[in-house]
Structure 1
Amino acid sequence: MFRKRLTVALGTLACAALLQGGVSLWALQAAGDKVYRGRVASDVLAGFLELYGTKQRLRAWLSQSLLGAPVAPQLREQLQSEMAATLDRLDAMAVLAAELDGDRGALQAEHRQRQEDLRVLHQSLDELRIAMASVQPQPPNDSSVALWSEITRVFDVSQGRDLRSLLDRNIAREKAAVARDRAAADSSLALVRTLALGAATSLALAAALLALYFARALRQPLEELSTGVEALQRGELQHRIPAHRHDEFSRFAQRVNAMAGEIAHHREREVEARHRLEDLVQARTAELQDALQTLRQLEARRRQLFADISHELRTPTTVIRGEADIALRGQDKPAGYYQGAMQRIVGAAQQLGGVIDDLLTMARTDIDTLALHREPLSVAAPLQEAVEQAQTLGLEHRVQVEYTASAEDWRLLGDAQRLRQLFTLLLHNAVRYSHFAGVVQVQASCVADASGAALWQLHVIDRGIGISADDLPRVFERNFRGENARLHRTDGSGLGLGLPIAAMLTRAHGGHIEIDSQPGQGTKVSLRLPLLVEPVYEHTDR
């Protein structure tokens, strides 16, 4: 819209300039024609004046000839030739004047009169040539006077018309024509000046009006665009430039507004992405801090483990070396003495073997990745073997292990060696942390979970030292031993690996293990493993 108005305004100025040029060209052409016509009229006037002067000179020559003054006959011929040439020029200029005036009716009579007069003058010249041919220079007498009168009459009258008045009339007419053409030329030049001044004034006024119009029309949209750009430069992306008009500025404002909206959208997404990144960094930082804390805890446990390993390995090796030294020291001793020493050495060696087994197990990168050879089997045999080992261990601590084998053949999918290791860990842990002359009860049964799936359940119950509420959540952590356990087993072989290994073996068999304990009252360990067959003997909510 605004581009169209600007194009129309500039086109109008161009047309006005072209019109001014055309008018000026026409006025200059008209003025040139008038000036040329005035020059032709001036030449005609000059021709008549020259004709008049030549005729007067010829008259003077005749006067001198008739009065007997010495004259040159060649001068007469020369003057007559000049008059003829002047008349020929006047004929040509009369035709040119008629052509320049065109078909203007007011001047047609003038041109016809001029041509008629020129015809008379031609005729007069011819008559004058004939009359002048007979003139011979003579002394003055009466006949000369008569001849002068006759010749004068020929000079002044032709075809009954007074040549002097004819020449005077033509001279006056040509003077009037010259004055008229000069006035027309002056008028044309004045018109040219007026037109040029008017056109220049009109163009200047039109240009000023257009400049004023476009200045007023451009001021508001340019101010709005400038204000909008400054707002966007300050970061005020919600600012919008008014776009209510139907012109190029409104379309540009719409594009700027769209750009501002897109930038604001990108900034919002950038802020969201930055917040998400900050949250992610915080989360990762928290995870790293947790990992660092875990590493610190692991390092502390590692140091404690090395201390425990040193203590656990030092105790049985010291016992073995001490018993051997005593047995070998001095004289020979009775066989019973040696047998007792060997039994004590065997016990210490068993204790050392248990420690070594725990260390080998701990050396594995992940107990969950232990290779299991799972196959359908009866759980009674591994359990019976584990109970017998626990009963042997219980003899050393005066702890009784009570177990009544069931007649049911419970079968499950598992690794017999790993199951025996699992049961042994639970039973040995119960025996070691029971009081002197205590009792450990082993109970096996078949239960069903909430979904009705059959589970084999094992309870290991002791009346030992128990576990405190603070230590109970950590009993399945590697290398963890509660304060009560350390105080109870100051010479024990536990490295805090029994229950963590038991939990991993349970998960490897798809089972579940949990511990319920009260300090000073004992501990109950419950183990559940999935059965292959599903006879339901009793139900539990767990």
Structure 2
Amino acid sequence: MPPMWTEASLGALAVIVAAPTVVAAWAGGELRRCRRLLATTQQVAATRARSLSLASQELRGPSLMLMAQASAAADRPGENALGQMALHLLRLSDDMAHLASEPSRRTLHEAPMLLGPVIDAAVTLVAVQLRPGLRHWKIDPDLRPMRVRADSRALEGALAALLRRAAQHSLDGDVVAVRLELGLENVAIVVEDEGDGLPAQDFVTAAASPAEDRPIGIANGTRGLDVGLTLARSLAVAHGGDIRIESAPGIGARAWLTLPRARMLQPD
């Protein structure tokens, strides 16, 4: 004689029978939600890319006009303040275009290079933006003769972002040190300052704001635009390295721009 089916057992059987349908419906709903989220994310990314591309185009015109004025004012426009600012704006325009491009289209132009000229170019660029402010740049002599395989312009931009941050968070006349640190797997360019020690918010630095809008502790004497540490880090990562920042209020900050040890080349 078959066993008697109780109300509870019949209910459990109904749940078991219906479970695949319920799970399928839930999974289908989650899949549709994920697809909508992906579509929204892609739309936002496309909108930001278009905005960056338009900003890059708008910035390029005035930059070229400044370069023409600098050329009229000096034989070598890259060596005067107006020419340096024009070069910086042109580089910023290129960086915006780089950020607006598809990741698959972003390429590095790598070649053997000395670190000395790259560091000097980054320091000169930031020093021009600081005027009339002043920082004392202390460069480790061991850095200058070092040869690495990298994209010199990308490395200069990443280093300039770290120097600019150090300048923004320090005072007029302070020392900003750039030194070498060798590890077993990495080589690091370390930027140290004795500034306010504020953290890098979301790994992004903003354009220097007017003194009355600036948080307490942000130093005066810093000018110029910056696309921030986000781009600098992406350039370091593209080389197989990274950027890391440590800061302590009242003590200062230390930033590491690391590269794989394999990128170091033997001296000629």
Contact 2:133 2:220 in 1 (8 A): no
Figure out how many residues of one structure are paired with residues of the other and give that number. Answer: 236
Matching residue's letter, 1:371: T
Contact 1:410 1:531 in 2 (8 A): no
Which residue in the other structure is 2:6 paired with?
none
Distance 1:287 1:388, change over 3 A: closer
Which ranges of structure 2 fall in alignment gaps of 5 or more residues? 1-8
Aligned counterparts, 1:20-419, within 5 A = 238=10, 267-285=18-36, 291=41, 346-364=80-98, 365-366=100-101, 369-375=105-111, 377=112, 379-386=114-121, 389=124, 393=128, 396-406=132-142, 410-419=146-155
Which residue in the other structure is 1:472 paired with?
201
**Structure 2 counterpart of 1:420, from 147, 151, 156:** 156
Which residue in the other structure is 1:181 paired with?
none
Partners of 2:43 and 2:181 in 1: CA distance: 42
3-state SS of 1:516 partner: strand
Q: Between Structure 1 and Structure 2, whose CA radius of gyration is higher?
A: 1
Partners of 2:10 and 2:25 in 1: CA distance: 21
What is the Cα deviation at residue 382 of structure 1? 4.3
Which residue in the other structure is 2:262 paired with?
532
User: RCO (CA 8 Å, sep 6+): is it higher in 1 or 2?
Assistant: 2
Deviation digits for residues 234-261 of structure 1 (CA, Å, limit 9, x no counterpart): xxx949xxxxxxxxxxxxxxxxxxxxx8
Partners of 1:409 and 1:351 in 2: CA distance: 28
TM-score normalised by the chain length of structure 1: 0.35
Which residue in the other structure is 2:3 paired with?
none
Contact 2:134 2:221 in 1 (8 A): no
Partners of 1:443 and 1:491 in 2: CA distance: 23
TM-score normalised by the chain length of structure 2: 0.64
Q: Alignment RMSD, CA only?
A: 4.8
Runs of 4+ with deviation above 6 angstroms: 263-266, 482-486
Distance 1:474 1:294, change over 3 A: farther
Matching residue's letter, 1:415: D
Distance 1:527 1:533, change over 3 A: closer
Contact 1:367 1:504 in 2 (8 A): no
Partners of 1:382 and 1:516 in 2: CA distance: 26
3-state SS of 1:424 partner: helix
3-state SS of 1:437 partner: coil
What is the Cα deviation at residue 358 of structure 1? 0.5
Deviation digits for residues 79-138 of structure 1 (CA, Å, limit 9, x no counterpart): xxxxxxxxxxxxxxxxxxxxxxxxxxxxxxxxxxxxxxxxxxxxxxxxxxxxxxxxxxxx
What is the Cα deviation at residue 519 of structure 1? 5.4
Percent identity over paired residues: 20
Single out whichever of 380-389 and 454-463 deviates more from structure 2.
Answer: 380-389
Which residue in the other structure is 1:456 paired with?
187
Identify the structure with the greater helix proportion.
Answer: 1
Distance 1:374 1:349, change over 3 A: closer
**Structure 2 counterpart of 1:523, from 248, 253, 262:** 253
What is the Cα deviation at residue 280 of structure 1? 2.7
Deviation digits for residues 421-476 of structure 1 (CA, Å, limit 9, x no counterpart): 3333333443355321121101112013xxxxx21011111234553x5x622417
Contact 1:390 1:431 in 2 (8 A): no
3-state SS of 2:178 partner: strand
Which residue in the other structure is 1:500 paired with?
230
Which residue in the other structure is 1:63 paired with?
none
Partners of 2:91 and 2:17 in 1: CA distance: 62
Distance 1:492 1:442, change over 3 A: same
Contact 1:380 1:409 in 2 (8 A): yes
Partners of 1:389 and 1:414 in 2: CA distance: 20
3-state SS of 2:108 partner: coil
Deviation digits for residues 64-85 of structure 1 (CA, Å, limit 9, x no counterpart): xxxxxxxxxxxxxxxxxxxxxx
Partners of 1:519 and 1:525 in 2: CA distance: 15
Partners of 1:437 and 1:513 in 2: CA distance: 26
Distance 1:348 1:417, change over 3 A: closer
Partners of 1:276 and 1:363 in 2: CA distance: 40
Contact 2:188 2:258 in 1 (8 A): yes
3-state SS of 2:187 partner: strand
3-state SS of 2:183 partner: strand
Deviation digits for residues 352-376 of structure 1 (CA, Å, limit 9, x no counterpart): 331232022202334854322334x
Distance 1:352 1:429, change over 3 A: farther
Distance 1:492 1:414, change over 3 A: same
Which residue in the other structure is 1:171 paired with?
none
Matching residue's letter, 1:505: L
What is the Cα deviation at residue 526 of structure 1? 1.0
What is the Cα deviation at residue 525 of structure 1? 1.4
Distance 1:474 1:506, change over 3 A: closer
Matching residue's letter, 2:236: T
